Amino acid sequence: PMVFLAQLARAGIQTRAGECVLEADACDGPAILAVLRALELPLSLVFNRGRVMVLPQGITKATGLRELLRASRLSEHNTIAIGDAENDHSLLELSEVGTAVAWGSTALQASADVILPGAGPPAVAAFIKEIVARPRLPTPYLSRRHRFTLGHSDTGKLLALAVPGRNLLIAGDPHTGKSWLAGLLCEQLILQRYCVCVVDPEGEYTTLQSLPGVEVWGGDSLLPRPAKLAQMLQYPDVNLVVDLSRLALDDKRGYVASLLSTLVMLRRRTGLPHRIVLEEAHYFLGGPEVSALIDLDHGGYTFVTYRPSQLHPTAVAAGQSVLVTRLTDQNEIDATARLGGRADVTGWAELCSSLAVGEVALLPVTTDVTATPRRLLLVPRLTAHVRHRQKYLDVPIADCYAFVFTQHGVPTGVRARNMAELTAAIRASSAEALDEHLRRWDFSSWIANVFADYPLAARLNEIERRYATDQSVDAREAVVDAIAERYVPENALETVATLPTSSG
């Protein structure tokens, strides 16, 4: 403002003014601050060695870089910042790797990821040449500031993991929370503006689309060619969930092989996506073709599996962190123990088999065999998690697990073997039959015992309990709505035309 410049001139303060910044001698800082206070202006002081700058509040080097990256559709997680003075803190904090020169501010060095040795610009030039000649950052340069909170110990201490650039293996028995844990990591990556691609064979990650920039492809819609997905993923503000739940296993394998090899080429060219999550990894990475499908040296893979022993040794050996939910199969316990260099397999087996739902063991992958695995309780998810959404919707389970509708204790001949059939049968049931099932809590029990979907089971049980005390509750529609909200795309249940009956 002109009034500000005039007041500084009257005070005898020498300045240089630009479009949005004013510069002066640092010794004049107190006098400039007094003028700002007197005029009540929304400006701030930023010191830089022997100079002081006056800027609009909130304007830093980081805000300028962020706007440049946004306009160019580039990612701060593909940037390296180099600074020397106190006004570079925000710049280094925004960038994936913050580098402070050894001849600059000691405070900046203390907060940097890397300290660049040398004595001046030639050292900076040599550093830049070294970095651009490499396909990816060397391990010592990987930032440890970008950490993701997984959970806390039994003493309440939070545990965070440096995920960027690392290959992760998540293993555990079925129904123990492997996909839930992978989704937790995806949420945090997406919210910190990392670009994520989830290869989702069973439709378990579709709820991530409620987060910024997440698109779901596949499922009930036609899957694009892998090249089309790669075209979308060349921009860091796009995250993809590739839902393969409608494909047969052999078709999934063919599609995943093509997609993974396409993403290898994309990452070598652009560095994107930062993270590739492969669910049910043992289906796709069991053979020697692994080296053509994934670029493990690039890092940034997450493999989720209940059969780590079936992964090709190349994929297993690349793991840099192992996260295990409850695991009881000795072959699989041995496979994870070998990856972590565990000499005490018995102790590791006891830990894995004792984990409760919501607990995970973090196994450090290190040559130090004395390193201790850590047990922790996971933090809550931000988005809902639905296990095998499409499969449970319309793929029949074995007949011995079917829900048998009865009236007065006698089977009516109607059976439900998936969510779509259950919903259609509930709508068609007589009031008497429905009353009996609600009073016995049959719906919540079946969902919990057969599908292990405890959140939905808990919601249905609330409906059943309310109905037991107040029969005016429209329990029929409440149960249908609860199932639809969790599993069913809009209007999908209207396509169910017939109900299966028993053969007896």
Same fold, 71-141 and 147-378: yes
Rounded distance between C-alpha atoms, residue 248 and residue 255, angstroms? 11
* pTM: predicted TM-score of the whole model, two decimal places: 0.76
**Residues paired with residue 414 on neighbouring β-strands, in sequence order:** 501
pLDDT computed for residue 156 by the predictor:
82
Q: Kindly indicate whether the domain formed by 147-378 is annotated with CATH number 3.30.420.40.
A: no
Mean pLDDT of 186-201: 94
pLDDT computed for residue 490 by the predictor:
46
pLDDT computed for residue 223 by the predictor:
93
Q: Kindly indicate whether the domain formed by 71-141 is annotated with CATH number 1.10.10.10.
A: no
Mean pLDDT of 378-407: 75
Q: Which CATH architecture has domain 2-56?
A: Alpha-Beta Complex (3.90)
Confidence band of 143 (pLDDT split at 50, 70, 90) = low
Mean pLDDT of 107-125: 93
74-78, 111-115, 151-155, 338-342: range with lowest mean pLDDT: 338-342
Rounded distance between C-alpha atoms, residue 103 and residue 119, angstroms? 6
Mean pLDDT of 24-29: 95
- In this structure, the strands spanning 22-25 and 239-243 are unpaired
Confidence band of 174 (pLDDT split at 50, 70, 90) = confident
Amino acid at the residue 63 = T
Picking from 116, 74, 110, the residue whose alpha carbon sits closest to that of residue 95 is: 74
Domain ranges for the chain = 2-56, 71-141, 147-378, 389-495
pLDDT computed for residue 182 by the predictor:
94
pLDDT computed for residue 70 by the predictor:
93
Rounded distance between C-alpha atoms, residue 127 and residue 36, angstroms? 41
